[in-house]
A = this chain, B = another copy of it.
């Protein structure tokens, strides 16, 4: 993976409903179109962002829950990713 997010941004890849079920998450019905589970594939350096010191709390490989509609979707090597701010990540699922 050769995308280097800037500042407090994180690149995530949405986890499909099938995989999600394996890890214990059930996304029924209409929610399937808006999966909120993703895996972190790249993490920005953090540091001073908008004048505030940001420490990155997520790392590559983390399974995370993120705000619906947050971030920007990009296509890279035929795969879809989302780039969002760490602040739009709600929780890490272990």
Contacts and interface: CB of A to CB of B under 8 A. Distances in A.
B7 A65 contact: no
A18 interface: no
A60 interface: no
A52 to B, nearest CB: 3
Nearest to A89: B6
Contacts of A24: 76-77
Contact of A57 (B6, B52, B58, B91): B6
14 contacts: A3-B94, A4-B91, A5-B90, A6-B58, A6-B86, A9-B91, A26-B76, A44-B91, A48-B52, A51-B51, A65-B72, A65-B83, A72-B90, A83-B90
